[in-house]
Structures are given as structure tokens and as C-alpha cells.
Amino acid sequence: MDGMDMASMGGMDMGSQSLFVSTNQAIARGYWYGIAGITGLLTIIRLVSIAQTRHRLKRQERDPHCVPSRPRSFFSQAYATATATIRELSYAQPVYFTGRISKYFSPLPVGKWLVLAAYWTAILIFLWSNTILKPKDAMYAYKWEKVGFRAAWVTIAQIPFIYLLSMKFSPLTFLTGTSYERINWLHRWTARTVFLTAIVHWSFFLHEWWLADFVALEIKMMPMVRYGFGAFGTITWMILSGFGFFRAVSYEIFVAQHIAAAGVLLWLLFCHVPAYARWNVWLSVAFIAFDWSMRIVWNTLRNTHLLGGSKMRAPGYSARLEALPGDMVRLTISGTDFSWKAGQHLYLTIPRLRPLELHPFTLANASEASKEGGSDLTMLVKARSGFSKSLHKAALKSQDTGRTYRALLSGPWGVPPDLRSYETVVFIGCSSGASFVVPLLQELASKRTCVRRITLHWIIRHGEHLGWYEDTLTSIVESARACGVSVQITVHVTQVLGAGSSVVTDDMELKEAASHPVMEVESRSDQSSSSASMSSAEDEKTPLSRAHLPRTSSLTVANSSRPTVEAMIRPAVEGALGETAVVVCGGLSITAQARTFVAALSDERAVHKGTGAQGIFLFTETYGW
């Protein structure tokens, strides 16, 4: 019986099942070899990228006049061409919706569709290879069961992958460097795929029972069938309740019922599948147990300060709240006992305000690891509903009293992009999206890296919102000169407040009338020894200098309508001598437009295809909006 568990089979046709088991188990193993193989490939790509960054930084240190991101060898040129082609294929997101409900139906970017297409192709091959029996086959009588059993294995093999994709402490993140929140979409789509393969599984069995007029008896005699339908019902519920709209209605209820349903699903599957397939359930349990144990240990250490090495402190952190214009709150924790990377986020709980809620917010300033007494940590929180509104009310109340709140933190989480090896960097932040891009800028403009030119476009509604970051931006512009980098910051104010508070519609007119540099700082004179200004198509061998840089770093405030992504990205890319990184943080509309534009621009310039045009890397963040 091939090690089969009679009890768990519940009387199903043992002969047919044992006949199919070895092939089906091989298919399930093949699925996991595939996942391991792709993870291995992504790990290698990550290692190459880390090595490339180190190599570029070393070259820059050895020869400050070179542009290390321009490929020199045949291998690096071929790698750059392959990278540019993949970026052009995958970045675009031509269709997106912004309506209250329709936004949940926005199609994915092309790259994610390509990943899904590859995944579905593999699943279809697993499902249908050698499963259609012909009348002359000896096993023809089992034609329905053959497909039913194959679909069962294809379904159960995917279950641990869904749980793996839900982990925060994930081996996938550790190996591939992709953070948990950026693979969440795959978690949802794998679950949707399981929903479909599960339909194939039960519908083929049901059809067979129906032909034999056996449906009621089968369900009555075989408890495993009832557990199976229970599991399918639970998956259906999880998929429907996980739909973006329902998640938005009440996130906490969504999370609570989703975790409960995930537990129930594993129990139902444990009862449904035969013993030799239960390793899939145990593997899922192992993933979850590991993740949650690590989270508990990590959060306990963070909030009890056991890792900080500082003297005894009360659990948690003392947070000050400050209400800012535009329903914004600045939360500040002084003297933290940990550091973070710019662009990472923390989960925040303030038990006195809302004890059971924890929300992710980006660390709005760069960590100052060397600061005595620990780095100050800030978060910029936009008051929307629920927790963030309570935070805003508390900030207004504590304005006069100076009251502080005990905060519990989880994190830091996230794997932000490493921008040190690019030649030009363009940051685009919409409103509170600045809390993602400004710390990255702060970090880049404070070190000597390969980056020579940085542009930041910050789009805000009202001039008074400038106060959220005015001091930080001013000090970035001041300090940029010491690192030999030119920083051009433009703050686009899209609504002019005043009598009647008018909305600006005529971009050009108002830009000319109202743009004014708030400050300008001269670049270092010792950097400009030669005068040749270069086009990005020029040959690598030509001696390069920093003379092509704009001579100043500046902070400009422009009253204008929202600038187009083309106006913000194209000039920087066309002026770049090496690879450009574009980082955008904002809603779906601006990130999708940036994705599509960067793909088109790379194609238009025939990047790394003989024209001399250099690569464009893109990273977008939407804060789940």
C-alpha cells in the first residue's frame, strides 16, 4: 500500500490512488525544486548586485573622476543590456484606476503579470501532463480520478508556499533581499491559483460520483470529503475577505479573521489529506511557528531594550506628538537604542490610544548611528481614519501640555534600495511620501558615494506643508557640498492659499511667476578642473570630470500644478553620465505613471543597446494606498 494510511483514506479507491501516488509526489517535489531554483537564481542576482555596488564604490574611491556605473567589460555590458531589457519589459503599468472602488481592480504592472504567467504555465504543466487518459489506456476507468488526484497534489503543494509568502521573518527575504510587503501580492495570487486548482480537484471527483449516482453516499461515508469541502469553503472565504476593499473597511477585523481562518484551514487540510501528504501541512505549520516565534522574540527584545546595551529603561519608548499643518502628525522618539536604514518602516502601537492596533509607518529621518545617547526617530503620519486620526487628536491635545505617550515598536522592517552606486538619482515624493524619499536623500547626501547629481521633486498641496521638512531640506542642501554632490530640490506647491484659495491650473504661467530658489549653495571649486561637458552617449575612455555638474545645490519652491513625470525624470536621465535611479513614493497614479514612463524612456533611448545611453533603475513605494 505504499505506506498509505488506511484510516485517513476513509475508504477511497485505494488501488487508483496508490497507482498515482509516486508520479504525483514527484510533481509536488518538482514544484518545490522549482521554487528553490528560482530563489537560488534571485539570490545569485542579489549577490551579483552587491558585488557590483562594492566594485563601483571601490573604483570611485580609487579614481574620483571616473563614472563607475558605465559598463567597461564585455561581461558587464552584456549584464547591463540584459538588465535594461528586463526593466523595459517589466516596469510598465499602463492601466490603473483611481476611483474609490475601482482602484481595487487596477491591473498589476507588466512584470508581475509575467511572473504570474510563468507560474500559471508551470502549474498547468504540472496539472495536465499525462493526466488525460485515452479509451485504449488500461487505466481508462480512472480517468476522472487521475485528474482529481493530480489536482489534489498540485493544490496541497502550493499551501506551504502561501504560508511562506506571508512570513515577515522569511528565508525568501533573507536570501533574495525582497521585503515581506513587496511579495504580498504573490501571496494573494498564489492563494487565488490554489482556489482554481482546488476546483479542478473536487469537480473531477464530484463528476465521477455523480456519474455513478454516488454523491450523497460518498459524502456520508467519507468524512475526509466533508473536511475537503470545509477547506475549500475556508479558502474561498479567505480570498473574498482578503479583497482590497474589505481589507480597507476594517483592517484589524480582516487581520484577526484571516489569522483564525488560516489556522482552521490547516486543521481541515490535516483531516482531509492522507498521511503521506501531511508534510505539506506540517511545513506550513513550521513556517508560521518560526515566523511568529521570531517576531515575539524580536519585539520583546526591542521593547525591553535588552539589545540596546543601555542602562535599565522602562519598556517601550516615550513618544512626543506634534500636530502639523495638513492633518499631519510628527511623532518623535528621542535617543532610540537601535539604528535603521533610510526607507525602512516600523509598526507602531500606542496602547493608551488604541491598545490592539499596530500600524506601519516609515522612519522619516535617517539614523544617526554615531549620535551620543542614540538617534532621534521621527515618523510623519497622515491622519486618515481610525488610529491615525486618534494620533492627530492626541497631538492637538498634547500641544500645550507637552504630554508624552508610551509607544511599542516592532521593526525596523523593509529592504530599501541601495542607491550608492548610481551616478544620478531622482526622488519623487507626493505629500507624506516624502517620509520615504527624504531620509534616502539625507543618507546619500551625507556620504561620499558614486552619486554626483540628486534631484528631489516634492509635491505638496499647500506652502505651509513645506514646514514638515523645511529644516531637513535646508541642511541637506548645505551639507551636500562637503560630499561633492549636487542636490537640486524642487518643492511643487499645487494649490495656492490666499483669498479664496485657488487651485493652480496654468502650469507654465505660474511656474514662471512664482518659482523662486529659496537657497543656493555653490559647489566646491576644487572639483571642476576640466571644462568638457559630456553627453551620456560619450565614450567611457574620455576623461570625465565633475565640471558638467550644475554649480550649485539649491532648494526651489514652485507654485504650479502637479508636474508631469516626464518633466521630473527626463532631464535628469538625459543629463546623466552613468546609471540613473528613480525612486517614487506616492499613490497609485504617480507610481504607475512613473513605471510606464521609465520603461518607455529606456526603450526610446535604447539603453545599453549601442547608443551609449545608460541604465535607469526604478523603485516605487505606495504605502499600501
Ligand X SMILES: Cc1cc2nc3c(=O)[nH]c(=O)nc-3n(C[C@H](O)[C@H](O)[C@H](O)COP(=O)(O)OP(=O)(O)OC[C@H]3O[C@@H](n4cnc5c(N)ncnc54)[C@H](O)[C@@H]3O)c2cc1C
Nearest residue (CB) to ligand X, 161 versus 436? 436
Which span sits near ligand X by CB under 6 A: 184-192, 244-252, 258-266, 299-307? 244-252
> Residue 409 in contact with residue 303, Cβ under 8 Å?
yes
DSSP-assigned letters across all residues of 425-491: EEEEEEGGGHHHHHHHHHHHTTS--S--EEEEEEEESSGGGGGGTHHHHHHHHHHHGGGT-EEEEEE
Which span sits near ligand X by CB under 6 A: 102-110, 142-150, 164-172, 353-361? 353-361
Q: How far is the CB of 609 from ligand X (least distance, A)?
A: 35
Q: How far is the CB of 438 from ligand X (least distance, A)?
A: 11
Q: How far is the CB of 140 from ligand X (least distance, A)?
A: 51
Given 49, 332, 388, 474, the residue binding ligand X (CB under 6 A): 388
Which span sits near ligand X by CB under 6 A: 18-26, 57-65, 90-98, 378-386? 378-386
Beta strands per DSSP E along 189-338 = 317-324, 328-333
- 230 backbone dihedrals φ, ψ, rounded to 5°: -60, -45
Given 359, 392, 453, 465, the residue binding ligand X (CB under 6 A): 359
Which span sits near ligand X by CB under 6 A: 65-73, 163-171, 358-366, 392-400? 358-366
Give the span between the Cα atoms of 488 and 575, in whole angstroms. Answer: 13
Q: How far is the CB of 392 from ligand X (least distance, A)?
A: 9
Give the span between the Cα atoms of 346 and 375, in whole angstroms. Answer: 15
Given 56, 150, 305, 382, the residue binding ligand X (CB under 6 A): 382
> Residue 441 in contact with residue 88, Cβ under 8 Å?
no
Cα dihedral 36, 38, 43, 45, rounded to 10, equals 160
Q: How far is the CB of 329 from ligand X (least distance, A)?
A: 8
Q: Indicate whether 386 belongs to the interface with ligand X (CB under 6 A).
A: yes
Nearest residue (CB) to ligand X, 119 versus 361? 361
In three-state secondary structure terms, 617 is strand
Q: Indicate whether 327 belongs to the interface with ligand X (CB under 6 A).
A: no
Secondary-structure breakdown of the chain: helix, strand, coil percentages, each rounded to the nearest 5: 55, 15, 30
Give the span between the Cα atoms of 63 and 483, in whole angstroms. Answer: 15
Q: Indicate whether 559 belongs to the interface with ligand X (CB under 6 A).
A: no
Given 91, 205, 340, 361, the residue binding ligand X (CB under 6 A): 361
Q: How far is the CB of 53 from ligand X (least distance, A)?
A: 24
> Is the CA virtual torsion 125, 126, 127, 133 positive or negative?
positive
By beta carbon distance, the residue nearest ligand X is 386
> Residue 514 in contact with residue 570, Cβ under 8 Å?
no
Q: Indicate whether 181 belongs to the interface with ligand X (CB under 6 A).
A: yes
Nearest residue (CB) to ligand X, 386 versus 587? 386
Give the span between the Cα atoms of 428 and 569, in whole angstroms. Answer: 9
Which span sits near ligand X by CB under 6 A: 7-15, 209-217, 360-368, 600-608? 360-368
Q: Indicate whether 432 belongs to the interface with ligand X (CB under 6 A).
A: yes
Integer-rounded Cα radius of gyration of the chain: 28
Give kind and range of the element (H or E) at residue 29.
helix 14-62
Q: Indicate whether 623 belongs to the interface with ligand X (CB under 6 A).
A: yes
DSSP state of 212: T
Q: Indicate whether 461 belongs to the interface with ligand X (CB under 6 A).
A: no
Binding mask 12-51 for ligand X (x = CB under 6 A): ----------------------------------------
Nearest residue (CB) to ligand X, 16 versus 388? 388
Cis amide leading into 417 (omega within 30): no
Q: Indicate whether 247 belongs to the interface with ligand X (CB under 6 A).
A: yes
Supply 320's cell numbers: 512626543
Given 191, 380, 487, 557, the residue binding ligand X (CB under 6 A): 380
Given 130, 385, 401, 531, the residue binding ligand X (CB under 6 A): 385
User: Amino acid letter at 365?
Assistant: N
Q: How far is the CB of 624 from ligand X (least distance, A)?
A: 4
Given 360, 484, 517, 587, the residue binding ligand X (CB under 6 A): 360
Pairing mode, if any, of strands 552-559 and 516-522? Answer: antiparallel
In three-state secondary structure terms, 222 is coil
Q: Indicate whether 387 belongs to the interface with ligand X (CB under 6 A).
A: yes
Which span sits near ligand X by CB under 6 A: 63-71, 89-97, 354-362, 570-578? 354-362
Give kind and range of the element (H or E) at residue 190.
helix 184-211
Q: Indicate whether 345 belongs to the interface with ligand X (CB under 6 A).
A: yes
Which residues, 250 to 269, sit near ligand X by CB under 6 A? 251
Q: How far is the CB of 102 from ligand X (least distance, A)?
A: 16
> Residue 389 in contact with residue 336, Cβ under 8 Å?
no
Total of chain residues touching ligand X, rule CB under 6 A: 23
Nearest residue (CB) to ligand X, 386 versus 463? 386
Q: Indicate whether 624 belongs to the interface with ligand X (CB under 6 A).
A: yes
Which span sits near ligand X by CB under 6 A: 35-43, 62-70, 84-92, 352-360? 352-360
Nearest residue (CB) to ligand X, 5 versus 181? 181
Nearest residue (CB) to ligand X, 102 versus 611? 102
- From 361, 355, 354, select the one nearest 412 (Cα to Cα): 361
DSSP-assigned letters across all residues of 289-320: HHHHHHHHHHHHHHHHTTTT-PSP--SSEEEE
DSSP-assigned letters across all residues of 89-152: HHS-------STTGGGGPPPPHHHHHHHHHHHHHHHHHHHTT----TTSTTGGGHHHHHHHHHH
Given 224, 358, 396, 496, the residue binding ligand X (CB under 6 A): 358
Give the span between the Cα atoms of 450 and 485, in whole angstroms. Answer: 9
Q: Indicate whether 248 belongs to the interface with ligand X (CB under 6 A).
A: yes
Binding mask 508-547 for ligand X (x = CB under 6 A): ----------------------------------------
Nearest residue (CB) to ligand X, 336 versus 559? 336
Q: How far is the CB of 311 from ligand X (least distance, A)?
A: 31
Q: Which residues are CB-neighbours of 46 under 8 A, at least 6 positions away?
A: 175, 176, 177
Binding mask 129-168 for ligand X (x = CB under 6 A): ----------------------------------------
Give the span between the Cα atoms of 26 and 4, in whole angstroms. Answer: 16
Q: Indicate whether 435 belongs to the interface with ligand X (CB under 6 A).
A: yes
Site residues (vs ligand X, CB under 6 A): 181, 247-248, 251, 345, 358-362, 379-382, 384-388, 432, 435, 623-624
